Structure 1
């Protein structure tokens, strides 16, 4: 084993250029990849699993209510009183869900 076989360190790997290998083809350039933690600022907050669960639950309920609302409005030409009440309830749930999503995002963005 000679010194050429020793793997280059990170500082050398960043600047190592492609060199011709056997067969006359150029060897691929060695690229230094940063760890994922190097790209996140030290003061950045990560989302907790509880926040993700609450956010996705609210988002799912909101989208579900909105889809049911749109489907009922498109399917029913003249809705009965009960169907009209269901449509209004789904519309209200979609509005409340949208407000909750905005509140969750806004609350997460504020400094604690």
Structure 2
């Protein structure tokens, strides 16, 4: 079953699916407002899993890459990421997700960014 992904009792999902206009189907994770998540743009790599990010609320924060995505996703300058600002230090945040190029295009097309 190449091209399909199936979990336990879920229906098979075609990973190579395309929209009627020929663009690939992009599954996009949206921010959860109740969890204070927001979009941000990676600006400067600071080393030691830290990145300077420009958040959508206009604040520039120092982001820390969470251990969960540290080994899985390579984050570069210019990437769109999902962050959670710290409740006790507003100038810092945790980076929890990195959007791929098709996902970022979808977010721009649907006016989330």
* TM-score normalized with structure 2 length: 0.20
Q: Which has the higher helix share?
A: 1
* TM-score normalized with structure 1 length: 0.20
